[in-house]
Structure 1
Amino acid sequence: MQNKTKLINLILLLCMLLLHQTVYSQSPYVPLNHWAYDFLERMETKHAVRGVLNHTKPLSRKEFANYLKQLKENVDQGFVLNKVEQEQLSFLEFEFREELGKEKSQKLKYRSRIQKVKNQKTIKKFFPSLFYKNNRNFISWQDEQIKVFFDPVYRYKINYRRPDSTNKPEKAFHFTNGFQVWGYLTKYFGFFVDVRDNKEWGDQKYPLGNYTLPGLGFVRATSADFIYHDETKAYLKFGIKNFQLIYGKFKNYWGSTNTGSLLLSDYATSYDQLKFEYRHKKFKFTSIYAFLIDYHFQLEDKLQDKKYLAAHRLEVAPWDWLSIGLSETVIFKGRSFEPSYLNPVMFFRSAEHYLGSPDNMMMGLDFKFTAFKNIKVYGELLVDDLTTTKLGTGWYGNKYGFSSGVFWTEPLKLNNFDVRLEYARIRPYVYTHENELQYTHYNSALGHWMEPNSDLFTFSLKYQQTRRLSFSGSFQYLRHGANTDQKNYGGSFDEYIVPIDAYYPGFLDGAVEKNQAIVFYSSYEIIRNLFCRLSIQGNNYFKKNGKKIKTTSLSFSLGINY
C-alpha cells in the first residue's frame, strides 16, 4: 500500500513538473483566414525562416510565436527585410506578445492606431478605460492565471452582379454580427469562441424552409426575400509541453495547395471533433475523431443523420528545404464509436479491410520543396481507391487526384511581389462511395471544392504595397465533366456508379462545363482587423448545352474580425 502511494505521489510530482515547464503550450489557434499564414509562407520561401511545418493547419499562436522568434534571430544576425516586411514583423510581435513573452508594451516597437488616438490629450480624458486597455483587443481582462480577450465581429458586404443578358444589375447584401472570446485558463488550458449570425438578402428570391447551401451549415428562410444562417466555432485546449488535446467545433486544412486541399480543406462548415497533437521541431503528428452531418432535406425541424470522420496525419521536415505530409481519412456511419479508427497510430486502410471494407477511406501525400531561395515547389496526391493492375485502363475504380504549384516571391527582384501558379485535377467518381458515404459535411465537400471529373488552372499575382494595403489579381480556368440525365460520368459528389453508367469514363467525359474567371482584389486594414475590401470579377461560363453566360460582379465589404 505504501509503495502504491509513493508511486501515485511520484506520478503527480512528474505531472506538476511538466505543467510547471509549460508556457502557453495550449495556446488557441490562429484563424485560417489570418494574413499571418501568407507572411510565414513568404518568409520561409525567402529563407528567413526554415523548417516550417505549416501544411497542418490551423497553427497555434505559440507555433507562430516560435517561428517569429526564429525570424527575429535571423534578422538580428543580418538577414535583411524590406520596410514592409519589417512593419509586418513588428505588428506580429505586437499581436503575439503573450506567446513571445513581451507583454510589457515598452518591449514592443509597434504602436497601434488605437493607442495613438486614445493617448491624445483631447481624447484621453473621455476615452473609456474599459476599452482597448491592452491597445489590441476591444476588452481584455487578466491576472496571474487567467487571460481573457473579447472582440466584436461585424461585416457588411454589398455585391452587384450584371449578367450579359440584362442591363439591370442584381444586388445582394450580406450582414454578419457576432463576437470572439479567447484566452488562457492558467498555463494548462486555452479556449476560443467565435459566434456569428448572418443575414443575406437582395434581388433574388429564396426557397422557403430549412436547407443548406455550399460551404454553409443550417440555412433557414422564413421569407422568400432573405435567409438566415449562423456558425459558432468553439473549443477548449489542454496542453503539456509538446502534447495538445482539443475538443470543440472548428475547421482543419491539411495540404499544400493554396486554392483548396484535396484531402481535408476548410470549404465545408465547421464540425465537432476530438483532436490530438504532438509537436516536435522536426515533425508534427495529428489525430482527429470528428462528428459530421449527413444532411437530407426535410420540411420540418428534425434531428439530422450523423456520420463520422477519423483522420490522422504526420508532417515531417527531414531537412530545412523539404517537408512531407502523409495523411489518412475515413468516413463511416451506422455506429458512433469504432475502436479501430479511434486508435491514432492505426493504419486505416488495414483497419477498414479488417472491418469488412464498408467505409469510405482515403490517403493523401503532400510535399513542399524550398531549396532555392524565393522559389517554393509543392504538390498533393489523393488516392481514394486504386487497383494497380488496372492503371492506365481508365477503369472507374481507380479514383485519385493530384495538384502541383509554384510560388515565387519577389520575381525579377520586385519587392513585396508574389506570383503563384497552380494546377489541380480530380478523376471521375473521386470522393463517392457505394454505401452512400459521400465525402461531405452538410452536403459540402470536405476536400477540394470542385467536383470530381474536373481540373483547375490558377495564375495569381499579389502586391503588398504597405503593411495595411495589398492588391492582387488572378485568372482561373475550370473544366468539369458533368453527368447527364441519362448517364453518370463520375462528375458529382452525390452519385455513385450503377450498371448503366460509364465503367471506363474518360477524363471530362459527359456534358463539359467551363468557367473562366478574372478577379482583381484590394484590401486595406484601417485599424487592427478592421478591413475594407473591394473586388471586381468577370466570368465566362459555358453551360452543358454550350451556351455562354458572361457576368461581371463588383463587391465591397467593411468588416472587423471577419
Structure 2
Amino acid sequence: MQFKERLLITAALCLPAALFSQSTYFSPASKHSHFIDRMEILQGKVVDQNFSTNKPYNRKFAGDLALVFDSLTKAGTIKLSKQDAYNLNSFYANNSEWYNGDESAFQSKKPFLKSLYTNKANFFEHKDKDFFIAINPVLNFQLMAANNDIKNLFINSRGVTIRARIANKIGAYFNLWDNQERGPAFVRNWVSTYNAVPGANFYKSFKTTGVDYFQGSGGITFPVTKFIDVQLAYDKNFIGNGYRSLFLSDFGGNYYFLKLNTKIWKFNYQNIFAELNPKFTKTGDYLLPKKYAAFHHLSININKWLNIGVFESVVFGRKDYIELSYLNPLIFYRLIEGNIGSPDKIHEGLDFKANVAKKLQFYGQLLIDEFNFQKIRKDWTWWGNKFGYQLGAKYINAFNVPNLDLQAEVNVVRPFTYSHYSDSAQYNFPIANNTHYNQPLAHPLGANFREFIGIATWQPITRLLLTGKIIFAQQGLDSSATSRNFGSNIFRPYDDRIGDYGYKIGSGLKANLLNASFAASYEVKENVFFDFSVLIRNFDAPKPLISKNTTVVSAGVRVNLVRRDYDF
C-alpha cells in the first residue's frame, strides 16, 4: 500500500473525532513571522502556547498570542510603536477567522463590486459562525540585472491561495502558483548541478536558460482530542528559532506528510511522518523512487523565560514497503534501529530559546549524527565525529531605536554530517541521506562548513521595511563529484572517503562565500508590495573550482507572496 494511501486512511479514521476548533497555518516567510517574534520577546517570556519553534505557525496559536499582546498594551504593560500598532492591525486583518473584536479598522468603506475586498486583506472573504473562507490572488514580478551575466533576468509568478474553516472543526488550505524564472548565474549553476530549483520540485526548461515550475501546497487540519491536532498536507516544515535550521528547514521542496501536534500543559510534542524522493537524475517523466522520514520534536517551557526541546529523526528507504516500526511516535529510534537490524540515518538533537529583558532572545541547536566517545577521544578528526551546532541572538528595538531589530547567528557542521553510505543492494546510491528532491532537508550548504549570519531589520515608518543581511561561510569542498570526498557533499556516499582520520571543518578545497544583500519593501496596500534589492555575492575558491563575483539589482511588485531570496 502506498504511503499516501496510508495517510488518507489514517485521516479518514480520525475525522469522526474532530470536535474542537481547528486552524490552518501560515508560512515562516510570511510578513507576520517577524512580528510574532517581536510580540513574544516584548513580553519578556516564552509564550504559554509554546508553538513558535515549530513552523509554519498555527494561525490560532498566533492569534491567541496577539490577543494577549493586545491586552498587555491596553493595560500599559507594553508600549506600542506606531509600526507595531500597524502590524497588529494587519495581523488581525490577515487572520480574521480568529478575531472576534471590532473589525472596522480593517474593513473596506467601499468594497469592490460590493463583495470583493470587504476585508482589506482578502480579495474575497466570507465569515459566519459555521464557515470561513478567504480567497486571494498571488503575483510576483521582479526584473533583475547582474554584472557579467545574460540579460532579461526575471521572476514571474501568478496564482491563487485559498483557506477555509468549516464548522469550527476542520481547517483547509490550498496554494498554487506558476513560475517562470531566469535567475543569476550562480542560481542557474545550482539548478544544473543538482537537477533542482531551490525551494521547488518538478521543473521544465524555459527558453533554454530559464525554468518553469509550479509551486503548490495544501492540506487539511483537524483535532482528534482536545490536546492533539492532525494535519495531512503537501507542504514543508521548519523546526527551530533561527534563520537556518540544522534539524529540518523549509529550503527545499514540498512533500507529503502526516503531522501530529500534541499540546498539553507546558509541553508541545510534534510528530511528522513524510514521504520523500531520494537523489535522481532528470532524464524525463518517470516514477521517482521513494524514501521516508519521521521527525519528532518535544519542547517544554522550563520557566517563564526558557524553553528547551529535544529532537529525533530517521530517514529510511525500502523498495517494496515502509518500515512500520518507525511510525511509532514515542520510542527512541536508536532502540528501534537495533531491534530491527536496520542502520538507517538517525539524528538526535537539543535546542533552546530564552527571552530576556523584553529585548533579547538567545537560541541554539545541537545536532548529533554519530558519536563514539572512544574514537573521538583518540582523535577528534575521526570521520564519524558528525555533529552540528547553532548559536544565535535577536535584539529588538536595538539601541532604543523603535522597530530596529538585529539578529546574529553562527552555524557549524562537521564533515559527513547528514550523508549516508551507498545502498548498492537496493538503489546504488545513498537512500537515507538527509535530502529530498535533490535538495538538503536542513542547511542549504550541506556539511563541512562554518557560517556567520547578521541581519538588520528596520521599519522606520508603518509601510516601509528595510532589511540588510550578511552571510559569510567557509566550507571545504571537493574538486569534483568523483574526486576525493571531504564530506561537504551530502549526496555522495560517505563510504567512498579515503581514510578515517584527518577531517576538520574546512578540509578539502577551502572556499569562502560572502552573500550580502539590502532590500526595501513598501506596502502600498494591504499585502501589495513594491520591492527593490541589491545582492552582492562573492565566491572565492582555489582551482579547479571557479571563483565568481556577482552583483544583482532587482525591482518589482508582489501581491500576497513572500520575497524570493537567493541566500546561498
TM-score normalised by structure 1 residue count: 0.88
Q: Deviations over 1:237-283 (max 9, x none)?
A: 1124332111110111101221x100100011111011111123522
Name the CA distance, whole Å, in 1 between partners of 2:546 and 2:202.
33
Report the residue type matching 1:86 in the other structure.
Answer: A
Report the residue type matching 1:554 in the other structure.
Answer: V
Name the CA distance, whole Å, in 1 between partners of 2:195 and 2:551.
28
Equivalent of residue 500 in structure 2, options 498, 503, 523:
503
Cα shift at 1:549? 2.8
Give 1 or 2 for the bigger CA radius of gyration: 1
Is residue 37 of structure 1 aligned with residue 33 of structure 2? yes
Equivalent of residue 199 in structure 2, options 198, 215, 229:
215
- Classify the secondary structure of the residue corresponding to 1:137: coil
Report the residue type matching 1:553 in the other structure.
Answer: V
Distance change >3 Å, CA 350–CA 48, structure 1 → 2: same
Report the residue type matching 1:404 in the other structure.
Answer: L
Name the CA distance, whole Å, in 1 between partners of 2:183 and 2:343.
45
Q: Which residue does the alignment assign to 2:565?
A: none
Q: Deviations over 1:173-219 (max 9, x none)?
A: 111111011111211111000011111247979999x9523332111
Name the CA distance, whole Å, in 2 between partners of 1:202 and 1:427.
30
- Classify the secondary structure of the residue corresponding to 1:294: coil
Q: Which residue does the alignment assign to 2:489?
A: 492
Is residue 182 of structure 1 aligned with residue 163 of structure 2? yes
- Classify the secondary structure of the residue corresponding to 2:26: coil
Q: Deviations over 1:452-497 (max 9, x none)?
A: 1111111221111123211121222111100135411111111123
- Classify the secondary structure of the residue corresponding to 2:25: coil
Name the CA distance, whole Å, in 1 between partners of 2:558 and 2:384.
46
Name the CA distance, whole Å, in 1 between partners of 2:128 and 2:96.
16
Name the CA distance, whole Å, in 2 between partners of 1:547 and 1:559.
34
Q: Which residue does the alignment assign to 2:287?
A: 303
Equivalent of residue 247 in structure 1, options 227, 232, 240:
232
Is residue 407 of structure 1 aligned with residue 394 of structure 2? yes
Q: Deviations over 1:412-458 (max 9, x none)?
A: 21111111111111100010011312210001110111121111111
Equivalent of residue 275 in structure 2, options 287, 291, 294:
291
Q: Which residue does the alignment assign to 2:530?
A: 532
Is residue 100 of structure 1 aligned with residue 96 of structure 2? no
Q: Which residue does the alignment assign to 1:230?
A: 214
Name the CA distance, whole Å, in 2 between partners of 1:170 and 1:223.
13
Cα shift at 1:95? 2.6
Q: Is the 8 A contact 2:416 2:448 kept in 1?
A: yes
Q: Deviations over 1:8-54 (max 9, x none)?
A: xxxxxxx99x966x3x3x11002221122211212222226642531
Q: Which residue does the alignment assign to 2:309?
A: 325
Is residue 66 of structure 1 aligned with residue 64 of structure 2? yes
Distance change >3 Å, CA 415–CA 136, structure 1 → 2: closer
Q: Which residue does the alignment assign to 1:513?
A: 511
Is residue 46 of structure 1 aligned with residue 42 of structure 2? yes
Q: Deviations over 1:66-109 (max 9, x none)?
A: 1012112211221211221122222223332321323xxxx136
The answer to which of 513-522 and 218-227 deviates more is 218-227
**Number of aligned residues:** 524
Q: Which residue does the alignment assign to 2:11?
A: none
The answer to which of 44-53 and 65-74 deviates more is 44-53
Name the CA distance, whole Å, in 2 between partners of 1:74 and 1:44.
12
Cα shift at 1:384? 0.8
Name the CA distance, whole Å, in 1 between partners of 2:267 and 2:273.
21
Q: Which residue does the alignment assign to 2:89?
A: 90
Report the residue type matching 1:93 in the other structure.
Answer: Y
Q: Which residue does the alignment assign to 2:118?
A: 133
Structure 1 residue runs of 5 or longer lacking an equivalent are 1-14, 120-126
Structure 2 residue runs of 5 or longer lacking an equivalent are 1-14, 424-429, 562-568
Cα shift at 1:359? 0.8
Cα shift at 1:555? 1.4
Cα shift at 1:142? 4.4
The answer to which of 46-55 and 310-319 deviates more is 46-55
- Classify the secondary structure of the residue corresponding to 1:451: coil
Q: Which residue does the alignment assign to 1:387?
A: 372
Q: How does 1:454-493 map to 2 (within 5 A)?
A: 454-485=449-480, 486-493=483-490
Is residue 194 of structure 1 aligned with residue 175 of structure 2? yes
Equivalent of residue 269 in structure 1, options 253, 258, 271:
253
For the aligned residue pairs, the C-alpha RMSD in angstroms reads 2.4
Q: Is the 8 A contact 2:413 2:450 kept in 1?
A: yes
Q: Is the 8 A contact 2:139 2:558 kept in 1?
A: yes
- Classify the secondary structure of the residue corresponding to 1:352: helix
Name the CA distance, whole Å, in 2 between partners of 1:32 and 1:544.
36
Q: Deviations over 1:110-160 (max 9, x none)?
A: 236xx25x36xxxxxxx4123123443112234542222111111111111
Q: Is the 8 A contact 1:308 1:336 kept in 2?
A: no
